[in-house]
Amino acid sequence: MTIALFGNALKVNIKQEIDHILEFMQLRGVNVILSQELRQEFSLRDYIQFGEETDEPIDFALSIGGDGTFLTTAALVGRQNIPILGINFGHLGFLAEVETKNLDCILDQLIRGQYTIEQRSLLAVRSGAGGNLSMPFALNEVAVMKYGLSSMIALEARVNGELLQRYEADGLVIATPTGSTAYNMSIGGPLMVPQARGIILSPIASHSLNVRPIVIPDDWKIDLSVQSRNGSYIVSIDGRSQILNDSVQLHVEKADYTVKVVQVGENSFIETLKTKLSWGN
């Protein structure tokens, strides 16, 4: 078995956790490949760097950090069809569910094959003339927002060619079911179970109180055009932000591949919601 290990090297005490995982895997004969960040930050030159040629196929990716680290891991893994297990070294952690206190037990179950894999949908973003999106896939959300201290933007959203809404707001979040518990949740958007088949559109600080979030089928296609007083806007794809001229239109639809998320243990999404959001307490 071969795993690829990713992590946020800036997390306090994460080196100790990385060393523990490396020792754990070595004792069980599991090969480990390290992300460029971990290999360089902690001078672990004896390990192959992710992306370099190797004779061994990668069975799993371990993401050590918070949900942001998981999103980075998913972006780096891309279409390589490698299942990802998220280990929470952050705070809330809806993607990185496994707590470090249970790590040895969870890793043992992973090695023994006691796990399931969930398929999570992504959004693909394509820009019109004048735009150049470097990493155009989102597991959580695509956020289109005003740039700087300018006033709100006017954002026209069409679905399958039909005008849905002209938003006058600070922006618009387009979220997957996985991303419903991220930025979307913080602005009052609806929560969705990850297995649902839908796309959420939630306005950010809408000027009109009768404009509400909406869920559309995930096979619908979304076209966006923006008007801004300063001629620019921000598009943020899973937190990776770029500034675009407001002449650049965006097209958003479900991607043609999925991210495979490893589930170990008995925690359901509902149980995670109850724990993370203190429901019933």
Instruction: Please tell me whether the overall predicted TM-score, pTM, comes out greater than 0.85 for this model.
Output: yes
pLDDT in tens, 144-182: 999 987 789 999 999 999 999 999 999 999 999 999 999
Pick 14 or 53 by higher pLDDT: 14
Is the distance from CB of 182 to CB of 94 less than 8 angstroms? yes
The position carrying tokens 């004779």 is: 55
Which residues neighbour 132 within 8 Å (Cβ) at sequence distance 6 or greater?
none
Nearest C-alpha neighbor of 224 from the set 175, 167, 156, 128: 156
Estimate to the nearest angstrom the gap between the alpha carbon of 176 and the chain centroid: 9
pLDDT in the model for residue 93: 73
Q: Residue 247 belongs to what H/E stretch?
A: none
Distance CA 214, CA 37 (A): 39
Upper half-sphere CA count for residue 18 (Cβ side, 13 Å): 27
Provide the terminal-to-terminal Cα distance of the chain, rounded to the nearest Å: 42
Average pLDDT over residues 27-32: 95
Question: Active-site residues: which are they?
Answer: 67
- The pLDDT tens digits of the residues spanning 215-239 come to 999 999 999 999 999 999 999 999 9
**pLDDT surpassing 80 at residue 267:** no
In the structure encoding, which two tokens stand for residue 199, read together? 């796309």
